[in-house]
Amino acid sequence: MSDLQFAYWVPNVSGGLVVSKLPQKTGWDFESNQRYAKIAEESNYDFALLQTRFFASYGAENQLEAITLASALAASTKKLKLISAVHPGLWHPAVYAKMLSTLDQISNGRAAVNIVSGWFKQEFTGFGEPWLDHAERYKRSEEFIRVLRELWTKEQASFKGDYYEINEAPHKPKPVQGGDLPVFQGGNSNDAKEMASRVSDYYFMNGNTLEGFKKQIEEVSELAAKEGREVKFAAHGFAIVRNTEREARQQLQDIVHAADNDAVEGFQEAVKEAGQSTENKEGMRADSSYEDLIQYNDGFKTGLIGTPEQVADRIIELKRIGVSIVLTAHFHYEEDLARFGKEVIPLVKEKEEKLKTEGVLT
């Protein structure tokens, strides 16, 4: 089993990573994100995930587009891998394949992509695009990925599906990584799990309990095995690391107490509708509580809250059940990102080595 890797959510939308009125030291602008990327790179992070958003939904009034910002951050970093999120339906995959190949060339092989099938109806209808039912959104996303890979691996690529068609299309230069440019994807529904098993490299999981993560990992792994494939897993958690557990828990309570109720309730209605549209009624955040939705990817559930030692122990538990990448979000980005990278990640690596020596981890 390979060593754990670490990713952080890039705060490229305003409002930070929690829907709370508690003051945050987190900027959404380029200058702030340039600083955070450099801090992350110096603090043992491997990946940065740039989110995609065009409408405010949970109060994020300002948004920087993901791959555009990733290109700018590529010029400011040397090692950090940059995962750009994208909505199929708002981009043509052949055009986006070229954008990703360009980013991979600029960054010398550090580009990756996160395919987001979409849960926020207004982002499509607001731009005059059709809002497909849930299963069709995932079908379109799967075709999107297949087109990307055709272009990255074939001299002349052709594809004909229900949503996309390309005919003997050239694509040069290819990505530095070629067809191995990593493809990420999330989603809790059967459609999401089945799609991941067929075409994705990594399956992103929203915050969850250990039991919840384990169930998802087992389900997707079983589906992938039937396809003759392996899928790796990334787990999200909102990290609050303080000198004592009491301090960390108090920070969480302060965030929750100052929640932006109108924004959370609006978000809750939107995701409830999205969850109920799935076949198994298990869409993203379908079983999330009000408190869970204050961190809009259920990050409190994961339990990365406490002292560096406590958080590192929790992360080792995630590794034991099959997590390959831990994706973190933070409150005060400037200081919390650095603290996690300098106090938690090295501790995790020490614990990994100790368990390997003891034969507990391989």
**Ordered DSSP codes for 132-196:** --HHHHHHHHHHHHHHHHHHHH-SSEEEE-SS-EEEEE---SPPTTGGGS-EEE--SSHHHHHHH
Mean pLDDT confidence for 121-127: 92
Report pLDDT digits (tens) over 158-167: 999 999 999 9
Q: According to the model, what pLDDT value does residue 120 have?
A: 87
Answer for the pair 264, 293: CB distance below 8 angstroms, yes or no.
yes
Q: According to the model, what pLDDT value does residue 287 have?
A: 62
Percent of the chain at pLDDT > 90 equals 83
Least confident of 116-120, 170-174, 303-307: 116-120
**pLDDT above 70: residue 272:** no
How far is it, in rounded angstroms, from Cα 76 to Cα 176? 19
Answer for the pair 300, 292: CB distance below 8 angstroms, yes or no.
yes
Mean pLDDT confidence for 234-250: 98
Tokens of 239: 């990290």
Percent of the chain at pLDDT > 70 equals 92
| Closest alpha carbon to 248 in 260, 261, 237 | 237
Report pLDDT digits (tens) over 56-83: 766 689 999 999 999 999 999 999 999 9
Q: According to the model, what pLDDT value does residue 283 have?
A: 54
**pLDDT above 70: residue 280:** no
**pLDDT above 60: residue 278:** no
Residue 220 CB-half CA count within 13 A: 32
* DSSP-derived 3-state class of residue 81: strand
Report pLDDT digits (tens) over 308-320: 999 999 999 999 9
> Taken in order 186, 190, 195, 201, is the CA torsion positive or negative?
positive
**pLDDT above 80: residue 285:** no
